[in-house]
Each structure stands twice: as structure tokens, then as C-alpha cells.
Structure 1
Amino acid sequence: MPRSLAARIVQDPSDGFRHLPHLHTQAPDLHVSFDVLGGGRIRARMAGPAVPALRGTEHKADLGARPDEVHGASARLCARWKERFVDFQPVDDQGRALRDRQRPFATVADLTAAPEHELRAVVADLVRGGASLLFDTLLRGDDVQTAVFRSYLRSALSQQGLRIRFDSDLHLPWPMLCVAADPSAGKASLDTLFARFLGHRHQIEHTGDAYAWIGTPRTTQSQPVVSLNHDVRVGRTTKADAVAKVLADGTLCTVRTTYEELIRDFEQPHLDEQLMYFWCHGEFVGNAPEPPVLAIRLTDGTPFDGHTVRELRADYRHSSFRPLVLLNACYAGLAGASADRSFLSRMLIEHGAQGVLGPLIAMPQAFAAEYALEFITRYLRADANAGRITHDLARHFAAQYRNPLAFTYGLHGGMDAQLERANGGEA
């Protein structure tokens, strides 16, 4: 007669297998890589269901562009956004600044009251710059390989709603790049212009490191574990207080305002947070001849950078430290002249962070606070993963606020990051 036998599990032979990262992520629709080879050559590759499979070969081209000129064009595009949009200043017929409209695109997040012709002219200029960087600088060339690669990539990017990973030695402002600009772009509607930005069309993440993190899956909690790391003097007239309230509502929230508090917790082996939010100033610091790196400063003004992260977390690379980091500080996601300029986000990811989201330009505080309020609210509700939320916000601010600044927030990894609770379900 059959009967049930008692069983006691003494070993889990699949333990290592279930830790493999590919079991917990969804492959992107388009994977584009730009590798910098010896002699300053750039090799481009492309794969994924968004492009046709080729018989007996792959999508690959050695480009004619060189890294220094691509980096230079990238820096010019970021500067163009600040000069033409953030610092935009209307003038009267005699060229004098209008005192009642000082930097109107930077002082408020909602631009629905801004004159349509002003917005359209500036955004059309940014579209031209974003398309030129991608197609006229990075992918320029008349050789057959480059022309065919450019054609396939242009066709893929012209689609809507793809999940795209740019795995690249070149750190470029991917969501600020554009599909080919129409010669009549200056006459196009704002909605048509917004739709040309890659950040409006697709979910995008930038990666670069191989096997950035492999280890035991993080511990989930019944309440989200979060932190607010801020300079209390920043953004007093913005929605920064509302962001702090949302962050603390129904969570286990740690508040840090000084460098000492940051290093106290970063050197703890079991630092375990699901969302880590920084609201502070960012700037580049360095000691010549070394290139400058991004440093952030909390209330006490002591710089905290990627070197600090490495010093504190080097012995804990496979710990429970697995947050998504919203680094809401100027230039925090900047695609600069070299990987050194994104050193802070790279070090956070190398030592466990799922991803880092941050602005690619000097961001006006009014918009930065609005963006954080929307992102954190949606992320804590676990409506979607970080890639989906970032994409939705790009479209939300363009449609509802007539503001393109959400295109300047870039994800360094983290497209699949999503909040989970201890019961195994979403929050």
C-alpha cells in the first residue's frame, strides 16, 4: 500500500545555478555595443529580435569615427542642452533680457504656458544635435559595412517601445540622441519633435562591465528599505519635502545628511537597501594629471566619489547591497570624455547596485524634484521596473508638461530593477 515518506533536504544541488543573473532578467529587444579597440578604432555590433538575423554572419562594422571626436561631440551636445534650453533667456526687440522671464525653462517644471514657438525652435535645435551625434559623427562613413550597419540600426531605432541596451566603452547620452532629423524639423509640432528622441521612443540602459554582479540574491523585506541622502540646503523652494514624505511613507527609511553618516553605513558589510536616493550637488573634482571624477556633497560639503565607494565596499562585493540608486545631482549620469566621468555610478554598480539613474546635464532643481517625486512614487508602488518607469516619465513630462528634460535622465544599468516584498510578490 503506497504511503508518503518523510524527507529532509540536506543539500541544494541547484544553489549555484539559481544565482545566475540571466535567470532573473529579460533579454533586450536590441543590444548594441561599441567597443574601443587598439589604435582608437571603434567596432560596432548589434543583435536582438529587433534586427533581422543574418545568414552566416552578424551585424558588425569597424567605424571611421575615433573616440576623442565622439566624446567631444557628446560633450558639445550636453553643453548645448544647458546653453540653449536650461539657460534659455528671452529678449526684447533690442536684445535686452526680459526681467519678468528669467530663464523660463529652468525655473518651473511645467512649460505648458511657455510660448509654443520658443519651445519648438529650441527643441528642434536639440533634435538636430542629437541626430547629428549619432548618424553624422559616430556612425558616419560610406564603406559598405558602416552603411549597412547604419541602415539596420536606423530602422530598429525608428520603431517604438523597444528595450535597448547600449553596452559600450563609449559613454554617450543615449536617451538624448535622435532618429534622423527632418529638414523641416523647425516647422514640426512639439509632439513630433519629442517623438524623435530615443528616450521618448524606447526603454534604454547603458552598460559596460562584464558580470558586474553575481552572488546570492538580495534579501527582501516586508517593508521597502530606502534611504534619503541629501543636502538640506538644496531645493528649499521645490517639491523636495514632498519627495522626502513619499520616500518615508510605509518604508524603513534612513536619512543621512553628512559624509560621516554615509561612510558609517557604506562600510557596513550588510548594508541592505532597495532604493537609495541622493538629493545634493554634484561637481567634478580631480588632482592633475588625473582626470576629474564626479563627487557629490551632502550638507557638510565633504566630497563623496567613486573612490570612496571602492574603499568602503571592496571587501563586500557579494553582499546584500543591491539598491537601485537615484542620484539626483547635477551631471550624475553624465556621458563625458571618458569612463572616469561616470566613475561614481560605475563603482556603485561594480559593488552591488542594480543600477544608477541620474541626469546627464546640470539639472534645474525645480524639474529634478518633480522628476524624483514621480519616479519614487511609481517605483515604491512597484508599477513597473525602472526601465519602464523612466520611459513612461519621459513621455509623461513631454506630453503633460511640454518639457523634454526627462530625456536627460540616463539609466546606467538597472533597466530590470523592480521593488519586491518578502512575500515574493511585488510591493
Structure 2
Amino acid sequence: MTSSLVTSVTIDHSDRLRSVPDDRYNRERGIHLRFIQVGNRFLVQAWGSAFPEDGGGGYQGTLSLSVDVVRDGIEDLRAVWQRELIDHVDPGVRPTRRPFVDEWDLSAPAEHERADRAALALARAGYTLFCLLFANGDAGLKEIADHLTRALRGGEHVITVESDDVFVPWCMLYVPLSDQDSVWASGYRWRPEGFWGYQHLVEHNFSRWPGFDSRIALPGALARVGLNVDHRVDEEYPPTPYVAPVVDFFTENAVTTVRTSKVALAEAMRDPAFADHIVYFGCHGRVGGTDERAYLVLADDEKIYGTEVLAWLSGMALPSSPVVFVGACQGGQLASVFYPAFGHHLLHHGARCLVGPQIDLPRAFARVYALRLFAAFLVPHTRLGDAVRGLTREFLDRYRNPLGLIFSLYRGIDVHLAPGEGV
């Protein structure tokens, strides 16, 4: 005799059993690369779904170029972006016009040729650095490059590049979509999908930090934001509202503390009750003197060095594990000489993520980018990496502006606000 089982569903989170919900908050990386300095060379390791398990062991190769040559190549890439986007002045136009600085929307038909010409130069520079990093090494590196190129052309990936030794603007790298395409051909047409930061979710990470959690637990309905700013930025010629609109936005949408001095920032970071979920710098960043030491400056004109931040955090960690956003104007060189120290100190003293630009940040663009980024990120469960990539695509597709690609995430693809979670 056959009996039938009697069942009933009282709570169903799977759409009538048609799907199983995925509540993982850290995504698997399809591409994970590691660069380790060994002597005067870099050892490159790779794993993830883009690198098939074939029984032959792990993927590893050696970059034959010296450390100095690699770092020169990185600076060459930044120099092209700085020249094409920030320093470019329309010839013969009076008063002087810098299209990517004075404006952020370049979607008008009259701007198309200029925007495409700049993007082609950026694509060529991005592919040049890609070749420098992955086409100059031993057989192991070639194998990594072959799998990497195939994966990059095959669709979207989640990418982590880990290194304490070299800091590449990964989102600005470019790979043509076919072996038949030569970026140096006179008729080459660049494609937005060739840029890493447009097609993929990309982060730079440091060596492992145990206990990392992508969830920012909110004790209440609103995030707490520390705004470390210099309002004088808005008054510089030509007067451009940047800091004030950002302060107004956060004041309306978060619990906000405004700091304008080095002493106030130091006091806050030293406080065991430090509660910022987002730490925002809307100020100046500069490289000063012959020693090329970089620093941030708030309204009191006191230089803030990365070593001082380390001293403030000695023996302690930021209890709120914040996201740190560096929106420092005139701070392009910070990417190479400030983020490695500043970001490393913050991430190893509790910060969850650091976001910052790789070249000088125009104020008009900075305002719109910050407002749109945090309007998206303040929505609970919106992952920071998705918000960054979404903006990159919007600016390039809709406004023909590639500046979204200049932002790098130092850890944090999956970071999100998680109200009510006991993390």
C-alpha cells in the first residue's frame, strides 16, 4: 500500500520552492591575483574560477621587469590620464576651457569627438600597462596571462588583486575584446567593456586581515558620517560648489559630524567611542617638498601625514570599522605615495575599506560623483563595489565621461550597510 505524505508550507523564502535564496554577503572572486616583491622582481600568483584546476598545481610566475620599471609604468599610465582629462585645454578657446574639469556632462554631440579621442588614448595606455605587467615574464606568467585575458573577454568577474608592494590603478587597465583587435591600429575603436573598472568588480587588497566583515552594522536607522573638510575648496577659482553640497546631503541623510581641523580629527580617531560608519575627506591632498611626502590639509592648514594617522591609532582599532572616502582635490599623486601608507594604516587599524582617485579630482565631477555614490550606498544592503561600478558605467555610457574609472577600492567590493544585524 502506497501512502502519500501530507505537507504544508508555513514560511517560504524561496519563491514557492522555485529558487533557493543566496544570503551570502561575500562573493567568490573569479580572479584573484597576488603580487609579491622578491628582491628586485615581482612573483605573481593566481587562483579562482578563471584559472582551472587541471591537476598541474597552482598558478605562479615571475615578472622579469625590475620593480622600478613596473612603478614607472604605473606612473606613465596616471600621467596619460592626467594629461588627457585634467590638463587638456581646448585650443583657441577664450576664456580657457578644460572640458573634463569645468564640466562633468560631455554628452552633447559637439563633445563626442573629443571624448572618444581621449578615451582611445586612455585605452591604449591601459593596455600598455597590462602588457607590461603580464607579457614580460617566464612561462608561468604567460600561462596566467592567457587564462586572465580569456576570462576578461568572456564576461563579468569579481577581481581581487592583493599586494603590499605594488599599487596599480586596476580599474584603468584595458584589454581589447579580441586578439584580432590592435589598440595601435589607426582605425581601432575602443570599447568600454575593455576597461577593467567598467566590466568587472575590482578591488586592491593588502595581506590578510583576520576577522574582516563586509557588513556595517547600524544601531539605528541612519549611518553616522564624519565629514573632514575644508570649505575653502569651493571658493577657489573658478568658484565651484563641492564641499558644501556634500555636507548638506549627508546632513539630510545621516547623523553627521563636521571636522575642519587636524586636532579635531586626531581627537576623534583617538576616542574609544569613535562611531563614524563613513569617514569622508573633502579637502586638499598634496605632495610636498623634495622628500615627496604626501599629506591631507583641512581648513586649519595643518598637514596630516600618514605616519601621524598611524600614531593616533597606535594600540587601538577604529571600533566602528568605517568606509573611508578620500575626495581630495589636487590630490592625484596621493595614489602612489599616500594611499599605500594611509590606506594600509587605516585598514590594519579597523577601517573596512578606502576609496580614492588615482589622478587629480575635478570639483564639478567630485560633487556629482559623491552625491550619487552615497545616495546609492546609503540604501541598506547596497554593496559598495556595485555602486562604484554602476556609476562608472553611467558616467561613461550616458555622459561620455571616463572619470568614474579613476576611483580605486582598497578592499570593499562587498561592503554594505546592514541595519539591525548583530555583527
TM over 0.5: yes
User: SS of the residue aligned with 1:276?
Assistant: strand
TM-score (norm. length: structure 2): 0.85
Partner of 1:205: 203
Q: Distance in 1 between matches of 2:332 and 2:210?
A: 19
1:247-396 correspondence to structure 2 within 5 Å = 247-285=250-288, 288=291, 292-317=292-317, 319-329=318-328, 330-331=330-331, 334-336=334-336, 342-382=340-380, 384-396=382-394
Q: Residue 227 and residue 295 in structure 1: after superposition, are their counterparts in 2 closer, same or farther (change >3 A)?
A: same
Q: CA deviation at 1:372?
A: 0.5
1:112-140, Cα deviation, whole Å (9 max, x unpaired) = 125322221121111111101111x1122
Q: CA deviation at 1:141?
A: 3.2
Query: Which letter maps to 1:160?
Result: G
Q: Which residue of 1 aligns with 2:405?
A: 407
Kindly report which structure 2 residues correspond to 1:73-222, keeping only aligned pairs within 5 A, or say none.
73-91=73-91, 97-100=92-95, 102-113=97-108, 114-135=110-131, 137-141=132-136, 143-168=138-163, 169-180=165-176, 182-183=182-183, 187=187, 192-211=190-209, 220-222=218-220
- 2: CA distance between counterparts of 1:174 and 1:25? 20
In the alignment, which residue of structure 2 is the partner of 1:230?
A: 229
Runs of at least 5 residues in structure 1 that lack an aligned partner in the other structure: 1-22, 92-96
The alignment partner of 1:366 has SS state of: helix
Could you tell me which amino acid in structure 1 is paired with residue 376 of structure 2? R
Determine the structure 1 residue equivalent to 2:69: 69
Conserved in 2, the CA contact under 8 Å of 1:230 and 1:298? yes
Q: Distance in 1 between matches of 2:367 and 2:359?
A: 15
Q: Percent identity?
A: 27
**Aligned letter for 1:376?**
F
**1:300 to partner: Cα distance:** 0.8
For residues 82 and 216 of structure 2, the distance between their equivalents in structure 1, rounded to whole angstroms, comes to 39
Please, which moves more after superposition, 303-312 or 137-146?
Answer: 137-146
Aligned partners of 2:161 and 2:204 also within 8 Å: yes
Which residue of 1 is the match for residue 48 of structure 2?
A: 48
* Offset at residue 238 of structure 1 (A): 2.7
Give the match's secondary structure for 2:154. Answer: coil
What are the ranges of 5 or more consecutive residues in structure 2 without an aligned counterpart? 1-23
Please provide the CA RMSD for this pair.
2.5
TM-score (norm 1): 0.84
State whether residues 173 and 334 of structure 1, in contact with CA within 8 Å, keep that contact through their aligned partners in structure 2.
no
TM superposition shift of 1:420: 1.9
- Answer with 242-251 or 73-82: which moved more: 242-251
Aligned residues of 2:103 and 2:365 also touching (Cα < 8 A):
yes
Write the distance in 2 (CA, Å) between the matches of 1:194 and 1:218. Answer: 32
Q: For 1:103, give the aligned amino acid.
A: R
Q: How many residues align?
A: 388
Q: Per-residue deviation at 1:184?
A: 6.4
> Match of 2:341, as an amino acid?
F
